Copies of this chain bind each other. A is one copy, B any other.
Amino acid sequence: MLKNNRKNYHHGDLKTALVDAGLSELEEKGLESVSLRSIAARVGVSHTAPKNHFDGLRGLLTAIAAVGFERHAQEMSSGVEHLPPGKERLKAACNGYVRFALSNPELFKLMFSSTLCDASDPELKKAAWNSYGILRGVAHGLDWDKADAPGSPWRTEWMLWSMVHGYAMLLIEGQIRRNDDGTPLFEMDGLLPDFAYREAELEKMPPPFEGRGSVEI
Contacts and interface: CB of A to CB of B under 8 A. Distances in A.
A17 interface: no
A162 B165 CA distance: 7
A173 B112 contact: yes
Interface stretch (A19-27, A81-89, A114-122, A204-212): A114-122
Interface stretch (A7-15, A42-50, A72-80, A147-155): A147-155
A147 B32 contact: no
A164 interface: yes
A217 B159 CA distance: 24
Interface string A174-207: 1111000000011000111110000000000000
B158 A194 contact: no
Interface residue tally on A, bucketed by range: 35 or more
Contacts of A144: 193
A169 interface: yes
A13 B13 CA distance: 55
A30 interface: yes
Interface of A is mostly: loop
B115 A193 contact: no
Interface in A117-166: 119, 144-145, 147, 152, 154-155, 158-159, 161-166
Given A145-B193, A166-B161, A191-B155, A175 B32 contact: no
A159 B113 CA distance: 23
A147 B193 contact: yes
Interface of A: 30-32, 112-116, 119, 144-145, 147, 152, 154-155, 158-159, 161-170, 172-177, 185-186, 190-194, 216-217
12 contacts: A32-B115, A114-B173, A145-B193, A159-B163, A161-B166, A162-B164, A162-B191, A163-B163, A164-B166, A165-B170, A175-B217, A177-B216
